[in-house]
Amino acid sequence: MHKLALFLAEGFEEIEGLTVVDVCRRCGLEIDTVSIHDGADVLGSHGIPVRADRILKEISFDDYDMLILPGGKKGTENLERCEPLKEALKHFAHEGKYIGAICAAPTILGHMGLLRGRKATCYPGLEHELEGAIIFTDNGAVTDPGGDKYDAKFITGRGMGKSIDFALAIATVFAGPEKAYQVGKAIVYYD
């Protein structure tokens, strides 16, 4: 069974983070929310407190098949300052594992040089920070599965209004397209 981790930092965009968790769990996927701070309680960008399942210093990145970064300006800045997380992102990229980021969070991957030559999207106006990426501006979510098992694999999302697109793209990879479609239909995303 695949296991995913979604990282929460002060100022994260609540809809982007929690939509992914909700859709993935509806698809039967195991997904942990992980606070990058010392405590499990994390305050979102709109003042909504969320209690993470785990704390960064208590996890092993090796337990996960995908790392997911929600956006939010302050949340993205805080995620980018988290050195253990950035080291894990580099490791996942070099191991050919999936990394997901939505809204402003793909800029972290761009700053790290991980998106060079890769398909990606992000919050409008931040495209210049996806250094070397092939930018898609009309897609709610973009999946770049890499060329072989050692290529980094990315799923990026445009922003809060495209959170379900992003979540279903993740679910398609890890739960399969049929299950993702069933859940999308059940939540009235597809008519």
* Percentage above 70 pLDDT, the chain: 99
CB 26 within 8 A of CB 186: yes
For 82-86, the CB contacts below 8 A with 24+ separation are 82/7, 82/9, 82/36, 82/56, 84/56, 85/7, 85/36, 85/56, 86/112
- pLDDT tens sequence across 138-169: 999 999 999 887 788 999 999 999 999 999 99
Where do the structural domains in the chain lie, given as residue ranges?
A: 3-186
Rama region for 110: left / alpha / beta (φ>0; ψ in -120 to 50; rest)? alpha
CB 181 within 8 A of CB 11: no
Whether the per-residue pLDDT at 117 is higher than 80: the answer is: yes
Whether the per-residue pLDDT at 191 is higher than 80: the answer is: no
Contact residues for 1 (Cβ-Cβ < 8 A; gap 6+): 30
Residue 13: phi and psi, rounded to 5, are -75, 115
Class of domain 3-186: alpha beta
- pTM, whole model, 2 decimals? 0.97
- pLDDT tens sequence across 74-104: 999 999 999 999 999 999 999 999 999 999 9
The pLDDT assigned to 150 comes to 78
Whether the per-residue pLDDT at 110 is higher than 80: the answer is: yes
